[in-house]
Structure 1
Amino acid sequence: MASFREKNGSWEYIVSAGFNPVTKKYEKITKSGFRTKTEAKHAARRVEEELKEGTYVKESKKTFGEFTEDWIAHYEKRAKVSSVRARKIAAKRLLDEWEHYPISNVTMSMYQQHIDELSTKFSRNYIDSIHSTGRMIFKHAEKLKVIKHNPTNHFEMPRMVKDEVTEKVVEVENFLERDELMEFLLLVKNEGLRNDLVVFTTLAYSGLRVGELLALKESDIDFKTNEIRVTKTYYNPRNNKREFSLLAPKTAGSVRTVELDPFVIGLIREQIKQLKEEKMKYRKVYNDQGFLFVDQEGFPMPIKMVALRLQRLMKIMNRDIEEHKRKHITPHSFRHTNISLLIEAQVPISEIQRRVGHTDINTTMNIYTHMTKQTKDQAANLFSSHLSDLTAKLR
C-alpha cells in the first residue's frame, strides 16, 4: 500500500517494492513533485499495477555515455573486431550529443531530430550505421530495464537530399574496362615493384576483396585444380604490420572456392618460389606464417601499402590524361572490374554471385547496373538488330 506526504509545497508517493534478493533489503519507490495528492495517488497506483504485472522499470540515472561504455564491453564479447570498431565510430556521433545526458531522458523526438540533423552532413550508409548502433544500444538498455521507453521505436529514416549537379561533377566509374586493365597490368609488369604484378593480377582475375587476398596462405592454393579457398580475411585498422589479425570473412557466402586462370596460378607458383629464397636470405628476421603476399620479414602487406602501390602506378598511367577524366581506382575497384568482365563474358549472374561471395544476389545485381560501356553498347546493338524488321516497316 502506498503512502503519501507533502514536501516543500508538493506531494510525494512512497510505494513498497518488496524484498530484493540481491541487496537482501526491502526496497521503496519514491517520486515527488506532484501538485496535488490526487496526482500522486494516480501515479502510485500505476506503479503498483506495474509491480504486480512485473513490468515496472526503474529508470537508470546512468548517462548515455556510461551505458554506451557498458554496451560496448558487452558487444565486444559477441562481435568481430572490425564490427566493434565500426560501432564505436558510429556511436561517437550519438555520444557527441548525449554523452553526459541521462539515457532514460532521451526521447523519440530527440532521437529523430538528431538523426535528421546528421543526415544533412553524412551519407546514407553512414546514417544507417549510426541508427543501427543507436537501436542496438537502446534495445540493450530496454532489455536490462534501464529505460522504460525505447526512443528508436517508430524512427523514420530521413530522405537524403543530394546536390545533383555536384554528384555529376564528381561521379567517376570505379572499375577498369578490359583495355584499361590490359594497359594497367602491362604497366605493372614493366614498372611495378616487388609483389605488384602477382597482387594486382590476382585481384583482377579472382574478384577477391583485398583483405581476403592478403590473408591467403600457400595451403589455400590447390595447384591440381587451379583453385583458391577463401576462408578468412586480413584485418589491420592501424596499418601496423605486426598488429594484424585474421577474421572470418564478411558473410557466410564469402567462404568459397574460386577457380583461377592457369596464368595466375603460375604467378602464384613463382611467388612461392621467390618466398622460399627470401626466407633463406632473411631467415634471422623472417616471420614465416605461410602467407603469400608479404614484406621481406614475412608479415602480410598492410592494405594501406597495397593502396599506395596502386596510387603510384595509376599516377604513371594517368600522366597523359586530363585530371577531370581520370578514374578514381582503389584496390576494391579490381573486384568491380572482375565482376564487369564476368558480365561481359556472359557468365550467369548466379555464378558471378558464387565466385565473388555475395550472400545477397541483389548486391551482385546492383553492380550489374554499372556494366562496362562495351556491354551496354552490345546490348543496344543486339536489341536494335532483333527489331530491325519492325523498325523498317515503321519508317
Structure 2
Amino acid sequence: MKGHFYKRSCKCKKKKCTCGSKWAYVVDIGIDPITGKRKQKTKSGFRTKQEAEKAATTLMHELEQGIVIEETDQTFNDFANEWLPIYSEAKDVKPGTVRVRLHEISKLVPYFGQLKLKDITRKMYQDALNDLNDQGYSDSTREGINRTGRMIFRKALEMELIKKDPTEFAYLKKEKKTIEQLEEEEIPKYLEKEELALFLKTAEEYGLEHDYLMFLILSYTGIRVGELVALKWKDVDFVNYTISITKTYYNPTNNTLKYLLVTPKTRKSRRKIIVDEEIINALKENKIIQNQVIKQLGDDYYNKDFIFAKMERQHGYPIVIKTVQNRMKRLLHLANLNPELTPHSLRHTHTSLLAEAGVALEQIMDRLGHSDDQITKDVYLHVTQEMKKEASQKFSELMRSLR
C-alpha cells in the first residue's frame, strides 16, 4: 500500500507529540484516466496511528474488491426532499400517503435535518426513536416514522451515497401492558342496533339534503366515507343490487372545487358489495330528484355522474367529507345519541351487527375491503364473546328451571 500516516496540524517539534493532534492517512488509490495523475485519498480524525492504519487497510481492501463508495456530503433534509418525489413516482402513491410521509419526515428533521447522511450513526438514530417514545408518541406513530426513516436511508444505501444504514438494527420501545390496562382498553365506539334504528329514523325525518341516503348506505354497507362521497351512478347495478367500490375521494383542504379521485386504500378495497332492496329504492328516488335539477340547470350543472352531488351552489360537485361529519354530528344531537361517534363509527356498527347476525369474520373483512385489520377483529371478538356469555347464561337458566 503506497501512502503515509501523519498527525494533522501537529506543531510539536519533539519526538513525542503532546498537542493532542489526530492521526490521518494519505494513500494512493490509482491513476486518474483523464489527467494521468495519481489519485489519493486522505482521511483524518483517528486517535491512534493503529486506527488510521486499520482504516487505510479497509479502504485498500474495498478498492481491490471494487466496492469503494464515495459517501455524499448531502444533509438528511436535502436528501429527504429528493427522496419523496422518487418514492411517490416509483410506487404511484396517493396524495394522502405523501402527506403522511411528509409529516413523518418532519418528526425526524429536528434530530438529523442539518447532519450529513454519512455522519448519522446507528446510536443517533436509535436515540431519536427512544426520544420520540419519551415524548409520548404512540406505537403506531413511531412505527410510521421509523418506516419512513428506513425507506430514506435504504434508498441512500442503494444509491451508494452511504456505506451503512443507521436504521438497520433499530427497534421501537414498547411498554408491556398490565392485565389491568388490557382489561381497561376500550373497543371502538359504535351504535347498537336499536340506536342505529333511531339514528336512521332521525335522519329520515329531520335530515338535510342527502342525509338519509348517505347514512343508510354507510350503515348498511360499511364503506368508508371517502368511498361514499366518490360514488357515481355507474357504480350502481340496479338489476343485480350491487355497488362497486373503485375509487375514493381526496380533498384535504375541503375546497369543493379542488378534489381528487384516487385509487382505494388497498388492493383489497376494490370490491363489489351486494346491497338491500331498501338502498336500491332510496337511490332510485334520489336519482329522480337529481335528474330534475340537471334538467333545470342544464350546462350550469357540473355533471360528472356523482350520486352525492351538491344541489345548492357549485351544483353537481361532490360534497366534501367534512359535510358528512357535520351532518352526522347534528343528527346525533337531535337523537340524543353519543356525540363522539363519527361516520367511521358506522363502519364499526356494520361490523358489530354482521357479527351478531352470525356472519364469519372472513366474510366481514371481505365486505369492508380489509385484508387484515385489528380494529375490525376487536369489534368482532367483543360481539361474539358477548354472544357466548349470553348463550352460557341461557343454558344455566334452563338447567335451574329444571330443578
Per the normalisation by structure 1, the TM-score is: 0.88
Separation in 2 of the partners of 1:234 and 1:172?
27
Of stretches 285-294 and 157-166 in structure 1, the one that deviates more from structure 2 is 157-166
Counterpart for residue 146 of structure 1: 161
Q: 1:341 to 1:116 in 2, by over 3 A?
A: same
Give, as a single letter, the amino acid of the residue that structure 2 aligns with 1:122.
Y
- After superposition, the C-alpha distances for 1:54-98 in whole angstroms (9 at most, x for unaligned) are 333322211110111111121121222221111111111001222
Kindly name which structure, 1 or 2, has the bigger radius of gyration based on alpha carbons.
2
Native 8 Å contact 2:187 2:379 kept in 1: no
Tell me which of 241, 246, 261 is aligned to 1:226: 241
Q: 1:43 to 1:301 in 2, by over 3 A?
A: same
Tell me which of 189, 192, 201 is aligned to 2:204: 189
Q: 1:273 to 1:92 in 2, by over 3 A?
A: same
Counterpart for residue 225 of structure 2: 210
Residue 333 in structure 1 maps to residue 318 in structure 2: no
Q: CA deviation at 1:197?
A: 0.8
Q: CA deviation at 1:283?
A: 2.8
Tell me which of 289, 299, 302 is aligned to 2:304: 289
Q: How does 1:7-46 map to 2 (within 5 A)?
A: 7-9=8-10, 10-18=22-30, 27-34=39-46, 37-46=49-58
Separation in 2 of the partners of 1:361 and 1:65?
34
Counterpart for residue 3 of structure 2: 3
Q: 1:256 to 1:126 in 2, by over 3 A?
A: same
Separation in 1 of the partners of 2:87 and 2:358?
43
RMSD: 3.1
Of stretches 213-222 and 167-176 in structure 1, the one that deviates more from structure 2 is 167-176
Native 8 Å contact 1:4 1:11 kept in 2: no
Residue 358 in structure 1 maps to residue 370 in structure 2: yes
Tell me which of 244, 250, 254 is aligned to 2:269: 254
Q: CA deviation at 1:173?
A: 4.7
Native 8 Å contact 2:254 2:321 kept in 1: yes
Counterpart for residue 318 of structure 2: 300
Q: 1:168 to 1:191 in 2, by over 3 A?
A: farther
Separation in 2 of the partners of 1:165 and 1:216?
44
Native 8 Å contact 2:233 2:306 kept in 1: yes
- After superposition, the C-alpha distances for 1:263-317 in whole angstroms (9 at most, x for unaligned) are 0111111122122122223334321111111213211111111111111222222
Counterpart for residue 367 of structure 1: 379
Secondary structure class of the residue paired with 1:282: helix
- After superposition, the C-alpha distances for 1:72-131 in whole angstroms (9 at most, x for unaligned) are 121121222221111111111001222111222222222222212212422221111111
Give, as a single letter, the amino acid of the residue that structure 1 aligns with 2:147.
S
Separation in 1 of the partners of 2:111 and 2:344?
34
Q: 1:125 to 1:361 in 2, by over 3 A?
A: closer
Native 8 Å contact 1:188 1:313 kept in 2: yes
Secondary structure class of the residue paired with 1:229: strand
Q: Mind listing any 5+ residue stretches in structure 1 that lack a counterpart?
A: none
Separation in 2 of the partners of 1:352 and 1:298?
33
Residue 236 in structure 1 maps to residue 236 in structure 2: no
Native 8 Å contact 1:172 1:328 kept in 2: no
Separation in 1 of the partners of 2:37 and 2:178?
62
Q: 1:65 to 1:277 in 2, by over 3 A?
A: same
Separation in 1 of the partners of 2:300 and 2:36?
61
Q: CA deviation at 1:162?
A: 8.0
Counterpart for residue 56 of structure 1: 68
Secondary structure class of the residue paired with 1:55: coil
Secondary structure class of the residue paired with 1:92: helix
Separation in 1 of the partners of 2:275 and 2:36?
67
Residue 96 in structure 1 maps to residue 110 in structure 2: yes
Counterpart for residue 121 of structure 2: 107
Give, as a single letter, the amino acid of the residue that structure 2 aligns with 1:176.
L
Separation in 1 of the partners of 2:35 and 2:400?
86
- After superposition, the C-alpha distances for 1:185-207 in whole angstroms (9 at most, x for unaligned) are 11111111101111111000011
Tell me which of 372, 379, 382 is aligned to 2:391: 382
Native 8 Å contact 1:16 1:29 kept in 2: yes
Counterpart for residue 84 of structure 1: 98
Separation in 1 of the partners of 2:105 and 2:179?
30
Q: Which runs of 4+ in 1 moved over 3 A?
A: 15-28, 33-39, 160-173, 361-364, 375-378, 384-393
Q: How many residues align?
A: 385
Q: CA deviation at 1:361?
A: 6.7
Q: CA deviation at 1:366?
A: 2.8
Q: CA deviation at 1:335?
A: 0.7
Counterpart for residue 314 of structure 1: 332
Per the normalisation by structure 2, the TM-score is: 0.86
Q: Mind listing any 5+ residue stretches in structure 2 that lack a counterpart?
A: 11-21
Of stretches 379-388 and 105-114 in structure 1, the one that deviates more from structure 2 is 379-388
Q: CA deviation at 1:13?
A: 2.3
Give, as a single letter, the amino acid of the residue that structure 2 aligns with 1:83.
T
Identity, % of aligned positions? 34
- After superposition, the C-alpha distances for 1:17-57 in whole angstroms (9 at most, x for unaligned) are 44689999975422123455554332211101012223333
Q: CA deviation at 1:14?
A: 2.8
